[in-house]
Amino acid sequence: MNDKILTKEEQETNLETKAHIANVQKFIDVFIEALNRRSVNHDFTKLEDPELSLFTKYTKLLATCTYGSDEYKKFLAELKPALDHHYAINRHHPEHFPDGIEGMNLIDLVEMFCDWKAATLRHRDGNLLKSVDINTDRFNIDPQLSKILENTVELFDNIK
């Protein structure tokens, strides 16, 4: 730090700035705590019926096909009873909300994005940027939000 002696006005400004910084830290901690809860509880409904038996059958099949393909859509249709239950309980899916992605909050969006990345690791040709593109159409995502999601992909490019 520099050794400049601060005026009374500068000291008051610094106190205000430090209070602002503390508030921002407090609000970021709200996100961190919410995301930590989401990470611990993510997809627990898949671990028992009515989801477990159908996911047991279709997880391997889904991994062998290309995301968004006709074959993929066919498997999803056959998995519908488990997906309906899953979407009803897990709010990180746009299908959880009557108005889709517009019903989501930022925590939901972050969990959804991380879920999309994890799903790419299950497919032989998984690609997060391609998933964002497909899901932009699938969920009618606004172009501005789609661009924000695209801009975030690079943070995850080298994570396996």
Same domain assignment for residues 65 and 23: no
**Which band of pLDDT confidence, cut at 50, 70 and 90, is reported for residue 80?**
very high
Whole-angstrom distance, CA of residue 144 vs CA of residue 156: 20
Q: What percent of the chain is modeled with pLDDT above 70?
A: 99
Whether residue 104 is predicted with pLDDT greater than 70 in this model: the reply is yes
Q: Mean pLDDT lowest for which of 1-5, 14-18, 114-118?
A: 1-5
Entry pTM: 0.90
Same domain assignment for residues 86 and 133: yes
What residues contact 45, with CB distance under 8 A and at least 6 apart? 51, 85, 86, 89, 90
Whole-angstrom distance, CA of residue 29 vs CA of residue 153: 23
**Which band of pLDDT confidence, cut at 50, 70 and 90, is reported for residue 1?**
low
Same domain assignment for residues 64 and 15: no
Sequence letter at residue 88: A
Same domain assignment for residues 93 and 76: yes
Whether residue 97 is predicted with pLDDT greater than 70 in this model: the reply is yes
Same domain assignment for residues 69 and 148: yes
Same domain assignment for residues 18 and 81: no
| Mean pLDDT for all residues in the chain | 95
Same domain assignment for residues 96 and 26: no
Number of domains forming the structure of the chain: 2
Same domain assignment for residues 57 and 90: yes
Q: Range of 31's domain?
A: 1-41
Same domain assignment for residues 53 and 15: no
Whole-angstrom distance, CA of residue 1 vs CA of residue 25: 22
Whole-angstrom distance, CA of residue 12 vs CA of residue 81: 61
CA-to-CA dists, residue 91 to 15, 21, 71, 132, angstroms:
40, 31, 26, 18
Whole-angstrom distance, CA of residue 143 vs CA of residue 120: 22
| Amino acid 63: pLDDT | 86
Q: What percent of the chain is modeled with pLDDT above 90?
A: 87
What residues contact 101, with CB distance under 8 A and at least 6 apart? 94, 109, 139, 140, 141, 145
Among the residues of the chain, which ranges form H helices? 8-41, 52-63, 70-78, 80-89, 106-120, 128-138, 143-156
Same domain assignment for residues 32 and 49: no
